[in-house]
Amino acid sequence: MKKRIVCLTLALMMTAGQVATVSASREEELREEQAWTSQQLDATYSQIDQFYAAKQQLEAEISNLDANLVNVMVSIQTLEGDISNKEADIQQTQSDLTKAQKAKDKQYKAMKQRIQYLYEKGGSEAWFQMMVSADNLSDLLTKAEYTQKMYDYDRQSLETYANTIKQVTQLGEQYQSEKAELEGMKQEYETESVNLQTAIDEKKATSADYDNEIAYAQEMANEYAALIQEQQAEIEQLEAERIAAEEEARRQAEAEAAAAAAAAEEEAAQEEEDQQEDQTVYDKDGNEVDPDDAAENGDPIYDEDGNEVDPSEVSSNDSESDSSSDDVERDEHGNVIDSDNTVDPDDVDTSSSSSGSSSGSGSAIADYATQFVGNPYVWGGTSLTNGADCSGFTQSVYAQFGYSLPRTSYEQQNWGTEVSYADAQPGDLICYGGHVAIYMGNGRIVHASNSQDGIKISNDATYRTILSVRRPS
């Protein structure tokens, strides 16, 4: 009978497991998709950072080119001023040259006229007439000296004007050469300015391309972020639906198992009652004895045919009465369970439990939780004896102390009052990503770890990244 009940319970649990498995499979797919989306989002943000860095470098280069272009334009303006001044100098030399040439020509013309006059007057006869016409020697010498000075003056003037023309011509040539040099420098600067402007335009175009790339990448990042939110919402919905389905299946399985167990107990009790009705047992001397007394004393007992029987298989009427009057609920194995099928009173230290429930101290919670070390891990379970997952374990433990925890590990991360791990005390709730545990102090935790280890004590609370520490409030 018990075997049949166990099989029925397993079948019900398997059905619930199948429902949960389908939901969990979709959850796992979504979590994998979300992880991939998160990777794409991180990669996109990294690409945006690279674009921004490249754009900043371009802007720095453009700023340097702009500064160089300003310097070149200033140099061009300076050269234009120098060229303008040089052109003025050239114009002045041209004017000076023209004036010197006119003075030379005038002097030459005057001298030519005087020579021509003397020649027309007879050349040497003119000198003779001048000597004859002289009043005295002194007058003659004076006239001769005057004539010589006039010749010397003409010669010196012509030489002076010739030198002036030569100097002015050389200066004009120098100015032309300097102007040509200045114009060459100006041409070089103008070429450089064109090259600088071309480089600036190219870099500004590249910077605009980076702006477009950044805008597109930001748009993709926004889409990835929105997709992550949608995936998270669907995950939470599926998780809630799965937990609800598991809870309903569990309750149904427990209800049917309890009904089957009650029927089995009733059937077994009836069978035992039928078997033991009017059954009389005897000691080795043939005296009628109470089977319960014999079992307590360890004495052998015999049926009416002299066959030895097991005292545990024989119950007195008082025993049956006591059993029937035991006002507790039992599972299919006959173990006492509480109303929620979460705690086996036989496995509970009554003094510790009572003290913990009344005081609600963190140490009492931790001590109470350690009593269930070694019991199995059951995904979706909340039974401290028959099996619980991490959040079901913490929920059932805290319930014994009057605390109502949410069902899932994600919801329990927001329960109670948050404290730092450095300030963690026994009885605090340690929250990880998708996992919860009860803190025992000295870096130790008790938790429903996994299907292999079951409910266990771990010596390192930081074996996984701690997301939050919650204190009952």
Maximal CA-CA distance, the chain: 212
Sequential pLDDT tens for the chain (473 residues): 444 444 444 444 454 455 455 666 888 888 888 899 999 999 999 999 999 999 899 899 999 999 999 999 999 989 889 989 978 988 888 888 787 777 768 767 777 676 666 656 555 555 556 656 666 667 666 766 766 777 777 777 777 777 888 877 888 788 888 889 888 998 998 999 899 999 999 999 999 998 999 999 999 999 999 999 998 998 889 888 888 888 888 888 888 888 887 887 777 777 766 655 556 777 766 677 777 666 666 677 877 667 777 666 665 444 433 433 344 333 333 333 333 333 333 433 333 333 333 334 899 999 999 999 999 999 889 999 999 999 999 999 999 999 999 999 989 999 999 999 999 999 999 999 889 999 999 999 999 999 889 999 999 999 999 999 999 98
Q: Is 431 a catalytic residue?
A: no
Task: Say which of 7, 333, 390, 431 is annotated catalytic.
Answer: 390
Task: Say which of 7, 333, 431, 447 is annotated catalytic.
Answer: 447
Q: What is the pLDDT of residue 281?
A: 74
Q: Tell me which residue of 371, 358, 344, 347 sits closest to 438, measured CA to CA.
A: 371
Q: pTM of the prediction?
A: 0.38
Q: What is the pLDDT of residue 336?
A: 35
Residue 62's Cβ-side half-sphere holds a number of Cα atoms within 13 Å equal to 15
Q: Is 7 a catalytic residue?
A: no
Cβ atoms of residues 387 and 375 within 8 Å: yes
Q: Is 435 a catalytic residue?
A: yes
Ordered structural domains, the chain, with CATH: 2-243 (1.10.287), 340-473 (3.90.1720.10)
Q: Cα Rg for the chain, rounded, in angstroms?
A: 60
